[in-house]
């Protein structure tokens, strides 16, 4: 099996780029952020503060997270209910970022992620895939873009999916999540030493996909 670890901050375009590259390569795309989002949604729905590790840890065994690959994209299920769309709100983004700081939450999702990489060739996107989840990945890429560019892209994406989005608010959210994701103690977002650094601020979507596909083909 060949695994590609794609890490980087939120809104760097990882998911759409990874999805397109995986399709071209015939790999399975795995969006690990969706796993943390699904846990974040459960906590919000049950009135549990995602920052409160002492309350989050005991409920983890009740949370059944399931992922289904679909030609349209990855589908997420929480305790048997499809939540693919529900996990894409700004509230769930923030809850996911908060709950992902707890080592117990990370440990809870680790095996699931590793199992997925054993079953097929994967292109897995997240924050700690190259550093923690798949340290032996055949290729590691750290994908980023400036916070302003990421905010512009996120606004466009949200508006296209019919949601309201305000640039200043999204930019603040991105900066706050960047801070949280890079400063947490458990598996913080950081570039693996052997990762290829790819800054997409000045690149078009097609250019980035092309570069990623080329990198995979060279390594495979």
By CB under 6 A, name the binding residues for ligand DC. 10, 32-33, 36-37, 93, 96-97, 100, 126-129, 177, 181
Least Cβ distance, residue 162 to ligand DC (angstroms): 19
Do residues 21 and 30 lie in contact, with contact meaning Cβ atoms separated by under 8 Å? no
Name which of 25 and 105 has its Cβ closer to ligand DC.
Answer: 105
Name which of 146 and 217 has its Cβ closer to ligand DC.
Answer: 146
Q: Enter the tokens of residue 111.
A: 């095996």
Taking the C-alpha atoms of residue 160 and residue 164, their distance in angstroms, rounded to an integer, is 9
Least Cβ distance, residue 79 to ligand DC (angstroms): 19
Residue 207, Cβ density class (10 Å: 0-12 exposed, 13-18 middle, ≥19 buried): exposed
Least Cβ distance, residue 178 to ligand DC (angstroms): 9
Q: How far is CA 127 from CA 58, 114, 153, 177, in A?
A: 24, 14, 19, 12
Name which of 13 and 25 has its Cβ closer to ligand DC.
Answer: 13
Least Cβ distance, residue 37 to ligand DC (angstroms): 5
36 C-beta neighbours (distance < 10 Å), count = 26
CA-wise closest residue to 6 among 179, 98, 129, 101: 129
Name which of 32 and 211 has its Cβ closer to ligand DC.
Answer: 32
Taking the C-alpha atoms of residue 160 and residue 73, their distance in angstroms, rounded to an integer, is 17
Name which of 59 and 217 has its Cβ closer to ligand DC.
Answer: 59
Least Cβ distance, residue 206 to ligand DC (angstroms): 22
Least Cβ distance, residue 45 to ligand DC (angstroms): 17
3-7 and 139-144: which strand pairing?
parallel
The CA angle 179-44-105, to the nearest 5 degrees, is 60
Name which of 27 and 106 has its Cβ closer to ligand DC.
Answer: 106
Question: Whose structure tokens read 């700081």?
Answer: 101
């Amino acid at each position: 099996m060949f695994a590609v670890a794609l890490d980087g901050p939120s809104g760097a375009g990882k998911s759409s780029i990874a999805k397109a590259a995986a399709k071209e390569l015939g790999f399975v795309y795995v969006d690990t952020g969706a796993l943390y989002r699904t846990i974040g949604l459960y906590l919000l729905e049950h009135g549990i503060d995602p920052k409160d590790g002492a309350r989050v840890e005991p409920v983890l065994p009740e949370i059944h997270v399931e992922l289904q690959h679909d030609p349209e994209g990855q589908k997420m299920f929480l305790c048997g209910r499809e939540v693919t769309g529900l996990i894409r709100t700004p509230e769930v983004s923030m809850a996911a970022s908060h709950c992902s700081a707890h080592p117990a939450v990370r440990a809870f999702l680790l095996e699931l992620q590793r199992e997925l990489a054993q079953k097929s060739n994967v292109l897995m996107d997240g924050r700690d895939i190259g550093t923690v989840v798949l340290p032996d990945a055949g290729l590691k890429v750290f994908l980023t873009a400036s916070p302003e560019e990421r905010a512009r892209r996120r606004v466009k994406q949200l508006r296209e999916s019919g949601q309201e989005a305000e640039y200043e608010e999204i930019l603040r959210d991105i900066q706050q999540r960047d801070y949280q994701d890079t400063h947490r103690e458990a598996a913080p977002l950081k570039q693996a030493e052997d990762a290829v650094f790819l800054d997409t601020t000045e690149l078009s979507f097609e250019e980035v996909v092309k570069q990623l596909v080329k990198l995979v083909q060279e390594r495979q």
